[in-house]
Chain A
Amino acid sequence: MNFFKARSSNNIMILFISIVFGTLILFNAIPVQAEEIPISNPAINQQLNFSTGFEHNRTLGERWELRGIYQLEYDTHYRLQTGLSYNGDTGYINGIFIELGYEKIKDTDYSARLKFLGNQYAQYETAANSIIPYLSWDNSDYYVDFGLNYRFTKFTDAGLWNIFDYHGDVSEVILYYRFGWRPPMKNDKYRLAVEFKNNHEFYAGNLGAYGLVINNYYQINKRVKIYGNLGLWQSGSIALSATYLKTTLHAGLEVDL
């Protein structure tokens, strides 16, 4: 009985989130006034991103990973991003995500995004799937992401690789946040960003699992840039009694197709 109740409750919540975000995206997508707009092909931008990374976790040890992300942007407002991360230490896929976004709502700095994230910990027979609706604000100097992470964790290896399986043993709701700053640089080819956050592309952590991450970008030419980032992550109780948890290092290549 409880099983069906839990299933029903999860389905209602997923439906609710989908409707709210679907409505928000559609509402902003529909032009307010009927205007005669010259017919032209809307711009399509595609991007590929490959990186390799190393993580040192003080408790669980070291691991390296490979990541790939594909991004499709349509008409500057619609964005689809998807990615896959491979854990070189365990030999398993450890993260998959699909993210849908409506960018620059009414040509402002705000965007609404919905992320489906699956984290597989096959070595622990555990899978954590998340639905993350969040709002993003980016004025090019500063940027903020803020949302909720609805996480469903299953502690058996059944259905481990289905990232849309939301019938787990435990359901949790956790704040999802990122605060970033891009300091002005003299050379346009260089870009630096400093972020404080509890997530990255393939991970959405608990409230107290926050990190300070420094990102460096260098534009090689119009289509290619290389980047590297260093993250120091903390553990503890919302800053108090916090201590060092892990270091992450990533380096990669971003190509506009």
Chain B
Amino acid sequence: MIRISKILLMIIIACYLVSCKADPKGLVSSSDVDKRFADSASLPEKSDVSIGGEETEFSFIVIADPHVYHGSDSGLTELKAKLLQDRDNGINDKFLIACGDISQRGDTEDFLAFRDILAPEFPVYTTLGNHDVYYDGWYNYREIFGKSCYTFKAGSSVRFVSFDSANGTLGRKQKNWLEGVLKNSTEPLCFVYTHFELFSPNSTTIQQYTDIEEAYYLIHLFKKTGVDYVFMGHSHDYYDKEINGTHYLNISGFTDKKDYFRFYVNLVNGTIRYERKSL
């Protein structure tokens, strides 16, 4: 029996190792954060969102973890219909942010499905999730969504920054870039979004950002640079935790909870409010 078990185990290991998508270090082949940062340098910058001079308030949508997979749009078509209906009723969402795990396993058809369902009515700003980089999904992602980390402005007073946490670590180059962007930001309001949650106050969750020291570095950086909101995903749980003036909002998983969050930004008095909605 033991001998049969050993033979079976050796066959399984051999099959795994000869698979072209295997990576003994990470079980499934995925790219490295430094490589993605270097690749991003040659990709086009994200365009700013124009806010009309007469507009005093604008809104945008945030979702996380849609996990689009081979024909299943995870309810995105329904979301678009809902948002278009709201638009008819006077709510003009300028764009949509997706906090990673756009696809289940990094396939081109799933990234395309996500983009094509929502565009062109709703420009999408995405960030990479761990699922998006599985099976070298980065190479598919960058063709469709572009940079792994970037920044853009909405109007003249709101800064948005996305950083790549798909491997649960920043890498030195991305850390320096993020520090530079946040320290040089002059806009009074700032939103940051990424995939991995920096901590998990829900006791059932065990999927925090990997390196605790790096997470503490980030939380300290966000405090020093006056970030207003940090959007995260990954665990599919919802929570809103305020630490030193920054709201850490974990966006519930769209694939299972069908939640979406609408943010209203008042450009006159600089206030931010949001509502959590469900399909």
Which of A's residues lie within 8 Å of B, judged by CB? 57-61, 119, 121, 124-126, 128, 153, 155-156, 169-175, 205-209, 234-246
Contacts and interface: CB of A to CB of B under 8 A. Distances in A.
Contacts of B203: 171-173
Contacts, number: 139
Interface string B86-104: 0000000000000000000
Nearest to A174: B206
A139 B266 CA distance: 64
Nearest to A175: B206
Among B30, B32, B209, B213, residue most surrounded by chain A Cβ atoms (within 10 Å): B213
A241 B211 contact: no
Contact of B243 (A58, A169, A240, A245): A169
A61 B200 CA distance: 25
A155 B206 CA distance: 20
B210 A245 contact: yes
A243 B241 CA distance: 29
Contact of B30 (A155, A169, A208, A240): A240
B25 A126 contact: no
B208 interface: yes
Nearest to A155: B243
A59 B211 CA distance: 10
A169 B25 contact: no
A236 B130 contact: yes
A235 B199 contact: no
Contacts of A155: 216, 219-220, 223, 243-244
Contacts of B171: 58-59
Nearest to A127: B216
Contacts of A207: 206-208
What 10 A-B pairs are tightest by C-beta distance, nearest first?
A242-B26, A124-B220, A235-B210, A241-B130, A235-B169, A237-B130, A241-B30, A243-B167, A126-B216, A235-B168
B27 interface: yes
Contact of A206 (B208, B219, B223): B208
B175 interface: yes
B167 A242 contact: yes
A240 B241 contact: no
Contact of B169 (A119, A153, A156, A245): A245
Nearest to B167: A243
A171 B169 contact: no
Given A156-B244, A207-B207, A242 B213 contact: no
Contacts of A242: 25-27, 30, 167
A244 B169 CA distance: 9
Contacts of A246: 211
Q: How large is the interface on B (under 10, 10 to 19, 20 to 34, 35 or more residues)?
A: 35 or more
B27 A239 contact: yes
Nearest to B217: A124
Contacts of B57: none
Contact of B167 (A60, A121, A236): A236
Given A170-B201, A172-B208, A241 B133 contact: yes
Contacts of A171: 201, 203
B172 interface: yes
Nearest to B214: A59
Interface in B27-86: 27-28, 30, 32-34
Contacts of B196: 237
Given A235-B168, A238-B207, A172 B217 contact: no
A236 B219 contact: no
B200 to A, nearest CB: 5
A234 B243 CA distance: 28
A241 B213 contact: no
23 contacts: A57-B211, A59-B171, A59-B175, A59-B214, A119-B212, A124-B213, A124-B217, A125-B220, A170-B241, A172-B201, A172-B203, A206-B206, A208-B208, A208-B210, A209-B211, A236-B30, A237-B234, A238-B207, A239-B26, A240-B28, A241-B28, A241-B131, A241-B134
Interface string B122-140: 0000000011011000000
Interface string B4-42: 000000000000000000000111101011100000000
B227 interface: no
B166 interface: yes
A119 B214 CA distance: 13
Nearest to B223: A155
Contact of A209 (B199, B212, B217, B220): B212
B134 A243 contact: no
B210 A236 contact: yes
B251 interface: no
